Amino acid sequence: MTIDINLLATIFGLYIFIKIYISFMQIGFISQKMNESPIILSTDNFIRAGQYSIMKERSSILETVVEYSVFLFWIIFGFDFLSKNLSSDIFSQTIFVFAFFTINAITTLPFEFYNKFIIDKKFGFNNSTYRLFLIDKIKAFMIYSIVGTVLIYSLLYFIINVTNWWLFSAIAISMLIILINILYPVFIPFFNKLYPLENSELKDSIENILKSTGFKSGGIFVIDASKRDGRLNAFFGGLGSSKTVVLYDTLIAKLTNSEIVSVIGHELGHFKNSDNYKNIFMITFFINLFFISANFLNLSYKNSGEFLVILSIYFSLALFFVSPILSFVYRKNEFNADKFGAKISGTPLFLSEALKKLITENRSFPISHPIYRFFYETHPTVSERLEHLNFTK
């Protein structure tokens, strides 16, 4: 093939180096801050959050090393092995690509298991069982097998048979992203139970602020997140008429009604600012730009799954290097949503207290190294958010 493997290996090596460097910088930063005066959190919670972050980051470094090892396996041995043992027809090439993504996913399972049953268990998060973990993975694999196979086959069909394959491929992936956002609430029952919010006082308060902003939802629900994890969260699922308000049962257990309303107000801020639609537009714009660029690359294997696999690797690399732009926009959106949440609650006090409880219960270290925040964090640090709300630590 005419793909420059050396160039790909060099770019991928740079990507791996940057990821590991960022992790080491984050570990060093947190280790230093843990010896200083605590920020926002109590001393014990501050140290505990730092220890949790460091353990997760060390696990991430090892996972990154394995990621590079798997990449080397593919370019040295894996591609040739699959190519020699599969024919060039579209069905065989679909198997080729499916096998690539499945094997890569399998290599991440040990880290998911370690993070959940060792690290999260140690810090009081994990409530799941080995059986539930296995069932979740089987269900996820079934959904991935159906959706992934259809997508892979479609992309290969475009690559092989359509001159403007890049345009049709970009449209197909963009439509899938929109469809997933619309149908997301439909998939929740595959993994969790949803039941209507029973707290009438809280329900009335939430419905009042929904009406005041013109937000039409399919209902206010509670999700049984506690059977897997102890973290707190809330979100709006779906798009258009499929939108639903979903509260973690852990959130209801830990926050007051006023604090929960402020959190919902924050989410409503995203709705009023059309952040979800803007985010989808940004992602689909990037996807289209990537495929337009890919059309000009010197890639000769446009009739094989190998081309699609190489393209997917380039895409993941490109996504990593543009992530600071996306993260910057996301962080700006969070500030605006905080402002709206504080306004709709009548005071910033409830949202500020909710944020403090969230980082305490979720073991979130309140500050991060600038380079880590630059690449990864889609939310401002809580310190920044409280300052933005005119609250000091």
pLDDT tens digits, 234-246: 877 766 655 788 8
Instruction: Report, as an integer, the average pLDDT of 373-378.
Output: 92
DSSP string, 158-183: HHHH-TTHHHHHHHHHHHHHHHHHHH
Confidence category of residue 174, pLDDT binned at 50, 70, 90: confident
Taking only the tens place, the pLDDT of each residue in 121-166 is 998 888 889 999 999 999 999 999 999 999 999 999 998 888 888 8
Note the pTM of the prediction, 2 decimals: 0.84
DSSP string, 219-268: -EEEE-GGGTB----EEEESSGGG-EEEEEHHHHHHS-HHHHHHHHHHHH
- Above pLDDT 70, what percent of the chain? 95
SS3 per-residue string spanning 333-369: HHHHHHHHHHHHHCCHHHHHHHHHHHHHHCCCCCCCC
* Beta bridge pairs of residue 248: 223
Taking only the tens place, the pLDDT of each residue in 341-354 is 888 877 888 898 99
Taking only the tens place, the pLDDT of each residue in 203-234 is 988 888 888 877 777 788 898 888 888 888 88
- Residue 73 has φ and ψ, to the nearest 5°, of -60, -45
| Collapsed DSSP state (helix, strand, coil) of residue 126 | strand
Residue 252 has pLDDT above 60, yes or no: yes
Q: Which pLDDT value is given to residue 273?
A: 84
Confidence category of residue 2, pLDDT binned at 50, 70, 90: very low
How many CA within 13 A on the CB side of residue 123? 27
Residue 392 has pLDDT above 70, yes or no: no
Q: Which pLDDT value is given to residue 238?
A: 65
Instruction: Report, as an integer, the average pLDDT of 173-184.
Output: 82
Identify the residue whose tokens are 């069905």: 91
Please state, in angstroms and rounded to a whole number, the distance separating the CA atoms of residues 146 and 269: 35
Instruction: Report, as an integer, the average pLDDT of 62-82.
Output: 89
Identify the residue whose tokens are 């929740």: 188
Taking only the tens place, the pLDDT of each residue in 21-45 is 999 999 999 999 999 999 888 999 9
Helix axes 200-212, 257-272, angle to 10 degrees: 30
Q: What separation in angstroms does the CA of 256 have from each of 213, 229, 242, 313, 386? A: 22, 20, 27, 45, 19
